[in-house]
Amino acid sequence: MSETRKEWTAVQQTFQRIWGYADLRESQREVVSSLLQGQDSLAIMATGGGKSICFQLPAILNEGLTLVISPLLALMEDQVRDLQARNLPAAALHSNLSQIERREVLRNLRNTRLLYVSPETLLSQPVWEKLSDRNLKITGLMLDEAHCLVQWGDSFRPSYRRLGAVRSALMQQKPDDHPRIALAAFTATADRDTTAELQACLQLEKPHIVRTSPHRPHLSLKVEIAWTPAGRKSRTLKFIRDRKGQSGLIYVRSRRDAETLASWLQENSFQTAAYHAGLPPQERRQIEQQWLSNQYPFVICTSAFGLGINKPDTRWVLHFHPPLTLSEYIQEIGRAGRDEKPAEALMLVSEPTGLLDDSDRQRVNFFLQQQQKLQQQAQALLPKLPRQGNFAEVSKLHPDAAIALGLLHRAGDLVWHTPFDYEIRHKTSDLPQSQKLKQVLGDQSAIAQMQAYIHVKGDRWAFLLKNFGFEEEAKLLVR
């Protein structure tokens, strides 16, 4: 038996002992193997494809600390709780920990294999100082739910734009014999543009790319017109009642929508609740557990719900409102039918003219107006920014600087030398005229793709597969 075969046998045995499955899937084997060799990776694997094991297993097998950058507190807590239940040394750092708990996690880094942090926590001064310790061995930097970098990195979470400089900055603080830090990004959805954006922004070096098709033949996709607001509610009631006893999810686009719809359904004698990021963590956790244990057959939620949660017997997903982008949509419908049994995804949309119900169009326009307002504020700030600067110092003078710097970075007009120090490539006076920046500010292609999907006449899965780069598979569906 070759040395390589012996090594992989040891990997399989560890996997079987900890997770109890017979073997890894082929896509998982590829990612695990590349990370164990210290190679960068980009894993685009369908929802339910077992992405978390791809970085958890190498982290357990390697010496040193693996940093997992995760967008949501609930997602971090879920994975850490699961790892700790398997007696694995994992921890999370987030704002809901007490000072004593935070100090204990930071004090114990040398005995931790997986540390979960948000981009903002990773780049906070106390955490960065600990991670920069010359004697702390760091072997992996994993970005979970990496599509959030593209989806939120310009406005909602601008810290994502600074992550590409993290590896080199950490390596500069380590001794010469410190092993190379492997960098990997994991997401369920990434079209060609998103894939290119992730590689460029994260500074992935010759990454091993693994792509699995999001196609689920057993998941039927439907879009129906709700001619009036009352009709939308009526169709929702019928859909739920026809699936009594089945587990499902209802997605809406705002916290207020979640609260309003949940109250109305409760008045109609349904056991349910609203789930969104505005709820206290303990309440979110309770709602999540009540759904997982079938005390709630369904919950009304915003897009944050379901990331990283595995409930294989979810039979349906109802979009009470259409998502803004195809990436959001395919993430959300992917939470149904993970057990490979028949499942349904229904999206309700306003009628095309908007005369009877203009709510969907208003929702899209409101989002675009909010984005435009943020971007106009950022663009007005650009001439005031120093060409070279420190993020913390500039942010003290200009609280909105993070978004402006993020937009410049996306446009290719700015480079982060470290996660904290930047340089603008063009003269400040020339920035408002940057053609790339104008393209970034005016980019609405993702919303246009979603609208095209809503009105498509052919096979819906074929449309999705084509948009996410699986053209050959899409052709097979329309033959």
Residue 206 to residues 191, 203, 448: CA-CA distances in angstroms? 18, 9, 32
Give the domain extent around 308.
219-357+446-478
Q: What pLDDT is attached to residue 378? A: 79
Both structure tokens of 428: 């400040």
Q: What pLDDT is attached to residue 4? A: 64
* Domain edge (last residue) among 162, 182, 211: 211
User: Which pLDDT tens digit goes with each residue over 233-267?
Assistant: 999 999 999 999 999 999 998 899 999 999 999 99
Q: What pLDDT is attached to residue 48? A: 75
Both structure tokens of 107: 């004090």
Q: Write out the E strands in 320-364.
A: 343-350
Q: What pLDDT is attached to residue 305? A: 74
Pair 205, 235 in one domain: no
Q: What pLDDT is attached to residue 322? A: 93
Q: Give residues with Cβ within 8 angstroms of 398, minimum separation 6.
A: 381, 384, 385, 404
Pair 96, 182 in one domain: yes
Burial class for 140, CB neighbours closer than 10 Å (0-12, 13-18, 19+):
buried
Burial class for 171, CB neighbours closer than 10 Å (0-12, 13-18, 19+):
middle
Burial class for 376, CB neighbours closer than 10 Å (0-12, 13-18, 19+):
exposed
Q: What pLDDT is attached to residue 444? A: 65
Pair 65, 135 in one domain: yes
Low-confidence ranges of the chain (pLDDT < 50): 1-3, 427-429, 431-433, 435, 439, 441-442
Report residue 188: phi and psi, to 5°.
Answer: -85, -20
If you ran DSSP here, which 8-state letter would residue 355 be given?
S
Pair 32, 139 in one domain: yes
Pair 78, 200 in one domain: yes
Q: What pLDDT is attached to residue 428? A: 46
Pair 225, 87 in one domain: no
User: Which pLDDT tens digit goes with each residue over 63-117?
Assistant: 899 999 998 887 888 889 899 999 999 999 988 889 999 999 999 999 999 999 9
- Give kind and range of the element (H or E) at residue 219: strand 219-226
The total number of structural domains in the chain stands at: 3
Give the number of C-alpha atoms closer than 13 A to the C-alpha of residue 96, restricted to the C-beta side: 11
Pair 351, 270 in one domain: yes
Pair 425, 465 in one domain: no
Residue 163 to residues 147, 157, 214, 419: CA-CA distances in angstroms? 13, 11, 27, 7
* Domain edge (last residue) among 155, 182, 211: 211
Pair 450, 437 in one domain: no
Burial class for 28, CB neighbours closer than 10 Å (0-12, 13-18, 19+):
buried
- Whether the CB-CB separation of 468 and 191 falls below 8 Å is answered with yes
Q: Which residues sit opposite 416 in a β-bridge?
A: 422
Pair 385, 350 in one domain: no
Q: What is the CATH number of the domain that holds 459?
A: 3.40.50.300
Q: What pLDDT is attached to residue 40? A: 96
Pair 155, 90 in one domain: yes
Both structure tokens of 132: 């920069």
Pair 14, 129 in one domain: yes
Least Cα distance to 422 among 125, 127, 118, 161 occurs for 161
Q: What pLDDT is attached to residue 442? A: 47
Q: What pLDDT is attached to residue 306? A: 66
* Burial letters 224-261, b for 16+ CB under 10 A, else e: eebeeeebbbebbeebbeebeebbbbbbbbeeebbbeb
Distance CA 172, CA 174 (A): 6
Q: What pLDDT is attached to residue 427? A: 47
Distance CA 178, CA 62 (A): 13
* Domain edge (last residue) among 191, 211, 231: 211
- Whether the CB-CB separation of 65 and 112 falls below 8 Å is answered with yes
Q: What pLDDT is attached to residue 369? A: 83
